Every structure is written in C-alpha cells, then in structure tokens.
Amino acid sequence: MDNSDSSPAITFPNVPDDFCPTGNWQNVFQAFIDEVLSNGTILVPGLGDVTPAEINQINETLADQQNQIDALEENVGPLVTVRYGNVAIGTNDTASIGITFSSEMPTANYHVSLTPIYSTGAPTTTPLYSVITGTKTVSGFSIRVDNNIAMITSLDWMAIHTEQP
C-alpha cells in the first residue's frame, strides 16, 4: 500500500510482552503469524502513482523489444561459434593429437587458440605448438607439440568461428 514518503520498508509490530502461546511448535508458530506477522505493513512509496494503463504500456514496450530481439536472432543468426576443451600432452615431442568437436563448425574457416596448463610453477621456456595438417575440418583439427617440458601436462584449446552478418 502507498502510505509513506520514506524509503521502502517492511515493518512489523513488536511481539507483545504477554505473548506466550501454548501447544506444539505448529500452534506456537501459527499464533505468532496471526498476532505479529499478519499485522505487518509494507511501505512502497509511489506504488499508487503507476496506473494500470501505464503498466499495460510498459508490458507492450517489453513485448515489442522482445519481438525485435527475436527477429534479429532469426535474421542474423549466430555470429560466433565456439568450441573448447582440454587435451593431455606428454613431455618432449608428441605425435599428432586429434581434436574432435562435439558438434560441427559452420565452416572449416576458424581460429584456434592453445593455452598450456602447468602442473607446477611457471617455466622459463615454452614449447612450440603447431597445427600440423595445414587443413582444419568442420569436425576438428590436429596439433603437434614439440619440445614440451614436464611442467606442462595439458592444453586448453578453443576454436572460434566468426561470420559477418
């Protein structure tokens, strides 16, 4: 109810000094609800200033904005497709490591990012990672790790495909 010019608040009366209901916990709690909580007041300044017509206008505006968002998603489609994961690697040189996506990329024209995961510390040297096949497919790519050090136990990989609208 709109009955105050102060900040919003929820107020309840003090529990009376003679409040001493009897019975089990359910009876005591129900007595507390009936005598104290049901006499609470919610103060919401300005609540009565919003008319039903204004509420309808707000709802129409929100629905219109949602329709515009939906239309953009239908007409433009996804602009960015991302696949990511982690692959374990051994020390020194590795054979080809095949990465397979959980679902295909729109095309094989995507970028790959590799991040080494260190088991301990931060090394002073970094191994060389390379995409070895020279071709990527919509379903994955292959990498090779040369000169890996023991502190690097896995790679986080991310493949990002972007399209122009």
pLDDT tens for 78-123 read 678 899 999 988 887 777 888 999 999 989 989 999 888 888 776 6
Q: Of 143, 158, 152, 159, whose CA–CA distance to 94 is shortest?
A: 143
Residues 87 and 102 in one domain: yes
Whether 108 and 68 map to the same domain: the answer is no
Residue 1 has pLDDT above 60, yes or no: no
Whether residues 71 and 102 fall in one domain: no
Domain co-membership, 70 together with 84: no
Residue-averaged pLDDT of the chain: 82
Q: Based on the domain organization, do 109 and 143 belong to the same domain?
A: yes
Task: Indicate which CATH number applies to the domain containing 139.
Answer: 2.60.40.2080
Determine the structural domain holding residue 153 and report its residue range: 80-162
CB atoms within 10 A of CB 91: 14
88: CB partners within 8 A, 6+ apart:
153, 154
Is the pLDDT reported for residue 70 higher than 80? no
111 and 40 both lie in a single domain: no
Is 1 a member of any domain?
Answer: no
Same domain, 86 and 156: yes
As for how many domains the chain has, the answer is 2
Bridge-based pairing state of the strands 97-100 and 140-146: antiparallel
Asked whether residue 71 falls in the same domain as residue 86, the answer is no
Which of 75, 106, 122 terminates a domain? The answer is 75
Distances (CA, A) of 33 to 10, 16, 24, 25, 42: 15, 13, 14, 12, 16
